[in-house]
Amino acid sequence: MVKVNDNYLKLQGSYLFSNIAKKVNGYVEAHPEAKIVRLGIGDVTQPIAPEIINTLHEAVDEMGNADTFKGYAPDLGYEFLRNAISDYDYKKRGCSIDPDEIFVSDGAKCDCGNIQEIFSVENRIAVCDPVYPVYVDSNVMAGRAGDYDKSTEKYSSVIYMPCKEENGFMPEFPTEVPDLIYLCFPNNPTGAVMTKDKLQEWVDYANKNGSIILYDSAYEAFISEDNVPHSIFECEGARTCAIEFRSFSKTAGFTGLRLGYTVIPKDLVVDGVKLWDLWARRHGTKYNGAPYIIQKAGATIYTPEGRKQIEQQIAYYMENAKYIYNGLKEAGYSVSGGVNAPYIWLKTPDNMTSWEFFDYLLEKANVVGTPGSGFGPSGEHFFRLTAFGSRENTIEAVDRIKNL
């Protein structure tokens, strides 16, 4: 008699962003006249840059011609893309990451969700609180999280590292030593960043304790300050304790094209087993590569013209971030993030819960944001806005919030 994976039944509610979508759709159905501005899910709005569009057209033509047609992609991804990543994202920053240590995929979300598979279910994970839900939920599904306690809103086996106003939204070393430590900087949802010195302390901590850091740097392209590392591999010793995830989604507007990559150094060895080998095996068995045309598109961001265009796009979004940050500050909100990250993290007014503020903004201003509590209990009384709207919508949203 077949049985389901009971761990799935321990998951709370549905995936945060599916939930928000349902709420918004419900509101829109009841108020078809409402002009909703969405600064919630963190999806981009600017079209794909012209240089990338050109590449896509060229690659499509290659697929239509017998002489240049491409079938299954190489297991790790095309060399032209891995070479460009290795050179531009790593070697240029002084990090020695070889093309062979880069696994191209259809996005950082998938990789962040799947990476836990190569580790023992007995491993303890630590996450920032608030946190991107995928890290926790994928571990719940695997049976690594324990049981959910409704009163604390926490899973019994997960080590939560509260990131609150009091500690500048920075995780502190937990009292119990975790086996796997999820870190995401620039942070989603708080927009906080770690300096290189601070991140070095985490690398040292992991090496000392035999822990692995799962480092999500999906937002590194938004870093504007010099002392903020773009990669964990800028820290000494990271090659023996860290895996890094990167995404083209926010860097180049690829949320609808799907491309990302994971870096696993070949020095990363646990009990004599190279994690690279395990991930390569997973990749080969359960995955079949990102489309050739998308990999070509991705490589275009490493050309001079492609780079110029995506930098303009990032600057555009960061102007939005500044506008939101300053506007909310003027309106009396307590705000952080938005300087090295496309996320603005604000404290809800009048001690409203995050979901109360969500409903309030949706109903009174027709603005959609993301409730901080959806990212974990320490996110309660906070709220995330993203800089990924159009300028017009961003200004409109901020003005509406100011006028509440």
Task: Give, as ranges, the residues between 101 and 160 that touch a copy of itself (CB under 8 A).
Answer: 106-107, 109-110, 113-114, 117-123, 133-134, 137-138, 141
Task: Decide: 254 and 285 in contact? Cβ < 8 Å.
Answer: no
Find residue 368's DSSP bridge partners: 38
Find all residues with CB under 8 Å of 350, minimum gap 6, and list them.
none
Q: Distance between CA 362 and CA 360 in Å, rounded?
A: 5
| x/- map, 368-387, a copy of itself, by CB under 8 A | --------------------
184, 257, 264, 401: which one binds a copy of itself (CB under 8 A): 257
Q: Is residue 338 near a copy of itself by the rule CB under 8 A?
A: no
Minimum gap (Å) between residue 186 Cβ and a copy of itself: 20
- Judged by beta carbon, residue 118 or residue 318, the one nearer a copy of itself is 118
Contacts of a copy of itself in 160-179 (CB under 8 A): 179
Task: Decide: 388 and 44 in contact? Cβ < 8 Å.
Answer: yes
In 261-353, where does DSSP find H-type helix?
Answer: 275-286, 292-299, 304-330
- Judged by beta carbon, residue 26 or residue 284, the one nearer a copy of itself is 284
Contacts of a copy of itself in 207-226 (CB under 8 A): 209-212
Residue 16, both tokens: 């945060």
Kindly determine how many residues on this chain lie close enough to bind a copy of itself according to the rule CB under 8 A. 84
Residue 193, both tokens: 């960043």
Q: Is residue 69 near a copy of itself by the rule CB under 8 A?
A: yes
Task: Decide: 384 and 372 in contact? Cβ < 8 Å.
Answer: yes
Q: In 3D, which of 287, 241, 234, 236 has the Cα closest to residue 260?
A: 287
Task: Decide: 185 and 217 in contact? Cβ < 8 Å.
Answer: yes
Stretch that binds a copy of itself, among 64-72, 157-165, 194-202, 329-337 (CB under 8 A): 64-72
Q: Distance between CA 246 and CA 281 in Å, rounded?
A: 20
Minimum gap (Å) between residue 20 Cβ and a copy of itself: 12
Minimum gap (Å) between residue 159 Cβ and a copy of itself: 13
Minimum gap (Å) between residue 85 Cβ and a copy of itself: 19
> Amino acid letter at 95?
C
Residue 307 CB neighbour total at 10 angstroms: 16
Q: Is residue 255 near a copy of itself by the rule CB under 8 A?
A: yes
Q: In 3D, which of 179, 193, 168, 190 has the Cα closest to residue 126?
A: 179
Contacts of a copy of itself in 259-278 (CB under 8 A): 270-271, 273, 275, 278
| x/- map, 277-306, a copy of itself, by CB under 8 A | -x--xx-xxxxxxxxxxx------------
Q: Which H or E run includes 137? A: helix 133-142
- Judged by beta carbon, residue 122 or residue 226, the one nearer a copy of itself is 122
53, 331, 352, 395: which one binds a copy of itself (CB under 8 A): 53
Contacts of a copy of itself in 13-42 (CB under 8 A): 14-15, 17-18, 41
Minimum gap (Å) between residue 179 Cβ and a copy of itself: 4
Q: Is residue 184 near a copy of itself by the rule CB under 8 A?
A: no
Minimum gap (Å) between residue 79 Cβ and a copy of itself: 14
Per DSSP, the residues of 51-66 read HHHHHHHHHHHHHTST
Residue 234, both tokens: 């800028």
Minimum gap (Å) between residue 281 Cβ and a copy of itself: 6
Angle at 245 between CA 241 and CA 246, to 5 degrees: 140
Task: Decide: 298 and 55 in contact? Cβ < 8 Å.
Answer: no
- Judged by beta carbon, residue 81 or residue 290, the one nearer a copy of itself is 290
